[in-house]
Amino acid sequence: MCKSNQKQRILLIIDLTYVKDIPMELSSFEFLKQQDLPASSLYMVATPIGNLGDITLRALHVLNSVDGIACEDTRHSAALLQQFGIHKRCLALHEHNEVGGAQTVIQHLANNERWAYISDAGTPGVSDPGARLVNEVQKAGFRVIPIPGASAVSSAISASGSVMLSSEGRFQFLGFWPNKVKERDMLIQDIRSNPKTSIFFESPHHIRETLLALNVQLESDRQILIGRELTKKFEQIASICVGDIPHWLENAQSLKGEFIILVAGRQSSSDEVPEHSTLILWANALSPYLGSKEIAAVLAQALGLSKKEAYQVALDAKALHEAK
């Protein structure tokens, strides 16, 4: 096949508005054209976080079909759109003008238009602008439709293995690691006590400092995953223990690029006393059959509480029940 025919075929695949002209072996893309694309709707479109090959067929179809595209950075997005031959009206909508830009988008939606929003990389609204835009559009009574795709969070989780095992898939996403010392210390204490895996982003400027802080304040056997430049040419994923962080830093290939960190949740010991809220549930379950003193005796014997602690739990449960 000559080069001109190859190029034409690629463009036909990308521009699915001409799906009827695609050869028979590519007719499986017909389902994209059959997907409903309601007007007066905002489409939140995920874009690649590094590798352009991670753009989805549905994302290309939507971006080709909308009347305009709001972008976190029009200059950055122009390169992406040009790569796939997409030519649409573009509007700059970033963290500094998100609410005002949202009103412009709403005006277009009110004119029965379809608009998309894309951030610089990944899924909009995940530590990127987008949340305020969605809020304003929904308040105005218009529909918001997510177009899923690349995400550093889900990518890292899929390759995390033992880091996610202890929390049985549960996690808390903390966004970008804070710069202020007090906020950092509070987050580390939360990570230290939280049974869920903690996930956050960090810049190359502070990654060494942050990892060393985790090394000092967390248990040495706590599992941690360090992801650098996910999906990009120099991608690096390391699953180590917190105690191995200094050695990893000393031998790291590079500390440049974007980082995502996963820290395994706290492991509970078999003799650990349950949280107060859990103790209240125990007391409530026993209350139809026992008085406060008997409940306290059961809790003290079964869970290793002091008699004073157990009796206070029984009284707290009774007070909560009477307040309802």
End-to-end CA distance of the chain: give it in Å, rounded.
Answer: 77
Could you identify the residue written with the tokens 């970008």?
Answer: 176
Q: How confident is the model at residue 23 (pLDDT cuts 50, 70, 90)?
A: very low
Task: Give the whole-number percent of the chain exceeding pLDDT 90.
Answer: 63
CB 227 within 8 A of CB 252: no
At 309 the pLDDT is 85
- Is residue 19 predicted with pLDDT exceeding 50? no
Structure tokens at 165: 């095992």
Helix, strand, coil content of the chain in percent (nearest 5): 50, 15, 35
Return the beta strands (E) in the chain as ranges.
Answer: 41-45, 68-71, 89-92, 114-118, 143-147, 171-176, 197-202, 223-228, 236-241, 259-263
Q: Label residue 260 by pLDDT band (50, 70, 90).
A: very high
The more confidently predicted of residues 324 and 57 is 57
pTM of the model: 0.74
pLDDT at residue 3 tops 80 = no
Domain boundaries, the chain: 35-150, 153-263, 276-323
Q: What is the mean pLDDT of the segment spanning 291-298?
A: 90
pLDDT for 25 equals 44
- DSSP assignment string, 11-48: HHHH-GGGGGGS-GGGGGGHHHHHS---SSEEEEE-B-
267's enclosing H/E stretch is none
Residues 269-283 have a mean pLDDT of 73
Looking at residue 7, what is its pLDDT? 46
Q: pLDDT per residue over 198-231, tens digit each?
A: 999 999 999 999 999 999 999 999 999 999 999 9
Q: How far does Cα 318 stand from its chain's mean position?
A: 40
Give the pLDDT mean for 45-71: 96
* Residue-level pLDDT at 70: 97
pLDDT band at 276 (very low <50, low <70, confident <90, very high): confident
Whole-angstrom CA distances from 159 to 150, 163, 307 are 14, 9, 47
Q: Is the sign of the CA dihedral 309, 314, 315, 316 positive or negative?
A: positive
CATH class, range 35-150: alpha beta
Tell me, what DSSP letter sits at residue 122? B
pLDDT band at 73; cut points 50, 70, 90: very high
Q: In this predicted model, what pLDDT tens digit does every residue of 81-137 receive, in sequence order? A: 999 999 999 999 999 999 999 999 999 999 999 999 999 999 998 888 999 999 999
pLDDT at 66: 97
Q: Assign domain 153-263 to a CATH class.
A: alpha beta
